[in-house]
Structure 1
Amino acid sequence: MSNQNINFSFESGEAKTILYIGNKLSAHGKTPTGVETLGLKLGEFNYRVITTSSKKNKWFRLIDMLFSIIRNRSSVNVVLIDTYSTQNFYYAFLCGLMCRLLGLPYYPILHGGNLFHRVEKSPRMSRLLFKNAKRNIAPSRYMYDFFVKKGFQNTVCIPNYIDLANYPFKERSTVAAKLLWVRSFKEIYHPMMAIAVAHLLKTKGYKVSLCMVGPVIENDTYRKCVELAQTMNIDVRFTGRLSKPEWTALSQEYDVFINTTHVDNFPVSVLEAMALGMPVVSTNVGGIPFFIEHGENGLLCPDSDAATMAQQMIRLIANPILTAQISRAGRLTAEEYDWERIKSKWKGLQV
């Protein structure tokens, strides 16, 4: 089954301690990740949760992760490992290896739409990491289906979640070309497509405003976005990284959320936008169609197809009834992923 509770099978009288390994880098200006957010939530179940690591240097962080496993091996019952597709995959692999050497059950929590490519690119390391895990925890049905097809039958699906109370609903019906984009400035998220969409709308006579929220990293992708906006004469508001309360407050100034990614799994930012009542127009990639139904709770377009995304925007502007329907349906979808509902899938911790 794809959705089932996690049962860590603590023996009676054992110390119920979880070691959660991931990148705790919010203190260094990074967006909080699962180790910081889910780690706190698991504490609600009256377990002792140890989290690591907050070391800024990548090598020091890896060493800290490995030594945390060794240091806590006698008191820890299970180890949760945030697992990504890039260099952090090697962190997860080495932490999984350490857990196996010490006889500790570990649970990789699967993140990132590009993890599929990592499994294809590194099949042997993936088998060692995922086959030997107690369970692999997939945050979407899309990820779950992929892992099961690859032979990792020890995979369960526990969806991403939001705290719904933090997202005040504002129904949108009559909308303008006021676009909000929230993501990191990385090529796989294709931020330049958002600027291209704004340009197409502007050439069709619409007054456009585009706000792009995400950590401003001086990389090629960010520089290309700035240059493209200047070339196309699009006034883009680059806010830099904002906290969730900051960008959800900012969302009240915008009407439509656009998601332009090449690759995706189950993006929480899209779910948050739906909770806020923003109609979502997204590329139809990865796990997106598993929770957005075109014309019902969002609008979809092919990957890299700025023209179709602009057409979907115009469709919303021209059709207030459809827009209001999508706004309300998006909120209903988001309600399904409220922590108060999702936490039951982690209740197996309460043994």
Structure 2
Amino acid sequence: MNILTTTLCYPTPGHPDQGVFVQRRAEALARRPGVSLSVVSPQPWCPLLRHCERIEPQSEPLSAMYPRLFSIPMLGWATDGAAYARMLSRVVARRRRAGLPPVDLIDAHFVYPEGVGAWLAGRRLGIPVVVTVRGKIVRLSRRAIRRMQIAAMLRGVDARIAVSRSLVGWVHRVGGGDLNVDVVPNGIRPDVYRLVDRQWARIALGWHHTAKYVLAVGHLQRLKGFDRLVAVLPALREALGDVRLTLVGSRRGEWWFARKVRRMIERCNLEAGTTCIDFVGPVGSEQLNLLYNAADVMVNSSRSEGWNNAISEALGAGTPVVATNVGGNPEQIRSGELGIVVPDGDMDALAGALRSALVRSWNRPRIASLCGTRTWTHVAEEVHAVFDRVLAARVPSVGLQPSSDVDNSATMMEAAT
């Protein structure tokens, strides 16, 4: 089985922490018997308007290429799907000219532009397409023209994978309630995210032995809700004393939001007379596991989610989690043994849950034993089963014929661009 995995969200030499979850799944798939997998991760580019540094193809840990994707700023939300299809078609054509084995299946991550582009290219090339739906569908389906493209794609691809049950509802809302969707949540690396001695972790990090630490992990973007945590910290400190907030993650996000959060942090630290909030930026996986183990609680205050990898990692390390009830969060925190789920946007509930979590005695070995068992190998096994089913159902010489509605939608999209 020759798989072509494609997404904009994949590690690059300049951004090695980007799309690691896609890479982990692809690596696990590539280790399965009879599977050959390569990655295409295009880089948006537009003459004079959008600069794109050329990235040389990579051979490790997977074969990956980074072609340019023509994307017009301010218009890409409507035209990037068709542009993505043309890019993929050129990649497949070059593979054929180079005498490489034919692509048996396109594995697209995210619905737009990747899913739409892969579907259009697959129709043109006679290659089956499976799209993995992640949390971005919530935001990407708001614009009518783009939502129409996503809906047509969801109805036209050979299979749909959602990383949480909550996203199945979004697939049905956008594409139709009759669509079949396979739910395959992400995994973790239990060799990395594991329970270690908590006091040793605190000493290694240089943390104060009597302070209570709240940890949050994510990009510095509004979606992840770091501003909510900074806002509730003064009340936590007033109620419980020395409570400190550690923010971990990349600085990718809206510039205005980053400036807002920085100012909130400066003001909070100034009023406290000490550094009670620390933004440490991105860290390696081993360092992140130390942070999970050292923290009293991990918190996810996101405004939207698909399947939050930090929650899975924290639980795998035995750390209780407080999270908003968005996306797959309630599916991950499936019992009171693992943490507390609060209504999204309810700041009083968020502060109250954090107070409760910080004074409660948690069974951390129990949390780790319940949540540290789903590996990327399990994920790959489930995804591979979907791919096998798709290829078995596909007529080799002709392929599945799309319905007239789907065919017309695709023709209109291609003609419009």
Paired AA for residue 53 in structure 1:
S
| Corresponding residue number in structure 2 for 1:249 | 290
In structure 1, the residue matched to 2:371 is 334
Tell me, in whole angstroms, the C-alpha distance in 2 between the residues paired with 1:70 and 1:110: 27
Q: Which residue of 2 aligns with 1:43?
A: 30
Matched AA of 1:110: V
Is the 2:214–2:295 contact (alpha carbons within 8 Å) kept by the matching residues of 1?
yes
| TM-score normalised according to structure 1 size | 0.83
Residue 25 of structure 1 deviates from its aligned partner by 3.3
Q: 1:79 aligned to 2:125?
A: no
> Residue in 1 aligned with 2:129?
106
Q: Indicate conservation of the 8 Å contact 1:69/1:99, yes or no.
A: no
Q: Distance in 2 between matches of 1:169 and 1:56?
A: 40
1:291 Cα deviation (Å)? 2.6
- Percent identical across equivalent pairs? 21
My pick for the range that moved more, 124-133 or 28-37, is 28-37
Instruction: Provide Cα deviations, 1:270-299, integer angstroms capped at 9, x if missing partner.
Output: 110001111101112222112313523211
CA distance in 2, matches of 1:241, 1:109: 26
Greater relative contact order, per chain length (Cα 8 Å cut-off, separation 6+): 1
Cα shift readout 1:152-197 (whole Å, capped 9, x = no counterpart): 5142111111122221214879995301110011111111111122
Which residue among 262, 279, 283 is the counterpart of 2:320? 279
Distance 1:56 1:237, change over 3 A: farther
Q: CA deviation at 1:347?
A: 4.1
Counterpart in the other structure of 1:306 = 347
SS of residue matched to 1:232 = helix
What residue identity is the alignment partner of 1:25?
A: P
Q: CA deviation at 1:131?
A: 0.9
Q: Indicate whether 1:231 and 2:272 are aligned.
A: no
Q: Is the 8 A contact 2:249 2:282 kept in 1?
A: yes
Report matched runs for 1:152-231 at 5 Å: 153-170=179-196, 177-217=212-252, 219-231=255-267
Counterparts of 1:259-270 in structure 2 under 5 Å?
259-270=300-311
Report the Cα distance in structure 1 between the residues aligned to 2:127 and 2:302, rounded to whole angstroms: 37
Q: Letter of the aligned partner of 1:147 in structure 2?
A: V
Cα distance in 2 between the residues matched to 1:20 and 1:39? 7
Count of residues in Structure 1 that have an aligned counterpart in Structure 2 = 327
5+ residue gaps, structure 2: 53-66, 71-86, 200-208, 393-417
Q: Does the Cα contact within 8 Å between 1:175 and 1:317 map onto a contact in 2?
A: no
Matched to 2:128, the amino acid is: P
> In structure 2, do the counterparts of structure 1 residues 329 and 262 end up closer, same or farther at CA, with 3 Å as the change threshold?
farther
Q: RMSD between aligned alpha carbons? A: 2.8
Query: Residue 358 of structure 2: which of 306, 317, 322 is its match?
Result: 317
* Partner residue in 1 for 2:62: none
Cα contact 1:171–1:277 (8 A) shared by 2: no
Instruction: Report the CA distance between 1:245 and its aligned residue.
Output: 2.4
Instruction: Give CA-to-partner distance per residue, 1:318-342, whole Å, 9 cap, x none.
Output: 332xx22xx3453244235223433
Q: Give the unaligned 5+ runs of structure 1.
A: 1-15
TM-score (normalised: structure 2): 0.71
The structure having more radius of gyration, on CA atoms, is 2
Structure 2 CA distance for partners of 1:61 and 1:240, relative to 1, 3 Å: farther
**Deviations along 1:51-74, whole A, 9 cap, x unmatched?**
112647477532654522333467
